[in-house]
Structure 1
Amino acid sequence: MDASTPARKTAGPAPRGRNPRGQGERLHAEIVGAAVRLLDQLADDQALSLRAVAREVGIAATSVYIHFADRDALVLAALEHCYAGLLRAVDEAESGATDPVAALRARTALLGAWGREHPGLYKVLHESTLDRRRDMSFRDEMSQRTTAAVRRCMDAGLAPRADPETVSLDLRTAVHGAVSLRLNQPELPWPALEQQVERFLTKLVGIPPLEP
């Protein structure tokens, strides 16, 4: 190509057409979905930029501000969306359980596996500084449901009677620690997460161990 030939610009993402009237909610959902994907890749809410989210969706950065005032507002919406999906997944996992112990086991195993499969989101959910700036009380429902699941095991006589809130907190602390340490110290000789979670259930809740 000689010097007189104009340089060809690198093609970027195809420009997105304007949403028809009434489809603002769809764009809102697409922005949140893009933020979820990027947060899982970045594992850091401070590294997320609204411009990157806009590129992911294929819109102008100014369009993001129509739906979210700032990055914190978008990250908060993305995390709340994750929690809603996680609650649905837990409900589905528990729905096939034959008794309260099986339900608690399914719930705990799913939560541990989710953290392992979505390490970036897990870090942002539990290790970011966002909760110092914004209300993240939507996370409380998961804790309350775990406490209720522990209580059902006790009420059915399948676990020793104790304070279900304390036992639930112990269990959640153990599972969170197991997942978090795996993410931050992957070089350690970790046992299978499923086996470790099963030991937590047996030792902390007092349910009978699974038969080999």
Structure 2
Amino acid sequence: MDHAAEAAPRTRGRNPRGQGERLREEIVAATLKLLEQLGDDQALSMRAVARAVGTAATSVYLHFSDRDALVLAALERCHQELTRAIDDAEAGADDPVAKLRARILVLGSWAYEHPGLYKVLHESTLNQRADMSFKRELGDRTAEAVRRCMRDGLIAVDDAALVAFDLRAAVHGAVSMRLNQPDHPWPPLGEQVERFLVKLVGIPA
């Protein structure tokens, strides 16, 4: 028996009328923290989430029909926060190439800061069972970043969506290998990203 899972939840005050949404937000936030620790959505339990929030498991089920629905909501929130961080980094750069570089570097560095969430977001079996259409936004914005470089004549004109896809696939591969083989003497990610930008996107070396 999982004694931790059976432990009584910490006491939590009842939300005032009309503040059920606050409980939902707390549930999502607690789920993100647990997924970061576990790195595996299958290891998450609704009871553990309820215990972390300090409420009953039945209260979690009032907001989310099952674990997949809960994890999807948490991952969508995670993806929104990642997208904002990437957009902020891009906004601080001066030209289209610098903006694209900043975008891709944040994408890579975020994985090191949140390895558990990265694994669930990109490597979990939930990707096969559920629609994660919200992930398309990041791809679309990366394609637009590549397109801006082309419009300004900084790289050769090509299929921006395909170039962005190849770039993101390369970065995801590099990140995944580092997370799954942490003891390997990998080159600095920034240097590898720069090579991707030169070879796959065509920015000047």
- Post-superposition Cα deviations, 1:105-137, rounded to whole Å, max 9, x if no partner, equal 110000000011111100001111112221111
1:192 to 168, 188, 194: 188
| Distance apart, 1:97 and its partner CA | 1.3
Distance in 1, matches of 2:139 and 2:153, equals 22
Return the letter of the residue paired with 2:154: L
- 1:6 match: none
- 1:180 match: 176
- 2:148 match: 152
Q: Quick check: 1:125 aligned with 2:110? A: no
- 2:166 match: 170
Return the letter of the residue paired with 1:117: E
Q: Quick check: 1:204 aligned with 2:167? A: no
Which runs of 5 or more structure 2 residues have no equivalent in the other structure? Answer: 1-6
Q: Quick check: 1:81 aligned with 2:83? A: no
> Could you tell me whether the CA contact under 8 Å between 2:46 and 2:57 is conserved in 1?
yes
Return the letter of the residue paired with 2:168: R
Q: Quick check: 1:91 aligned with 2:87? A: yes
| Larger Cα-atom Rg | 1
- 1:41 match: 37
Q: How does 1:49-88 map to 2 (within 5 A)?
A: 49-88=45-84
Which runs of 5 or more structure 1 residues have no equivalent in the other structure? Answer: 1-10
- Post-superposition Cα deviations, 1:35-72, rounded to whole Å, max 9, x if no partner, equal 00110110000000011111111111111001100000
TM-score normalised over the length of structure 1 = 0.91
Q: Quick check: 1:31 aligned with 2:27? A: yes
TM-score normalised over the length of structure 2 = 0.94
The percentage of counterpart residues that share the same residue type is 69
- Post-superposition Cα deviations, 1:46-102, rounded to whole Å, max 9, x if no partner, equal 000011111111111111001100000000000000011111111111111111001
1:17 to 13, 19, 32: 13
Distance in 1, matches of 2:171 and 2:93, equals 20
Distance in 2, matches of 1:45 and 1:75, equals 7
Moved over 4 A (4+): none
Q: Secondary structure at the match of 2:187?
A: coil
Distance in 2, matches of 1:44 and 1:12, equals 24
**Comparing both structures, which one devotes a greater share of its residues to helix?**
2
Return the letter of the residue paired with 1:198: E
Number of positions where the alignment pairs a residue of Structure 1 with one of Structure 2 = 199
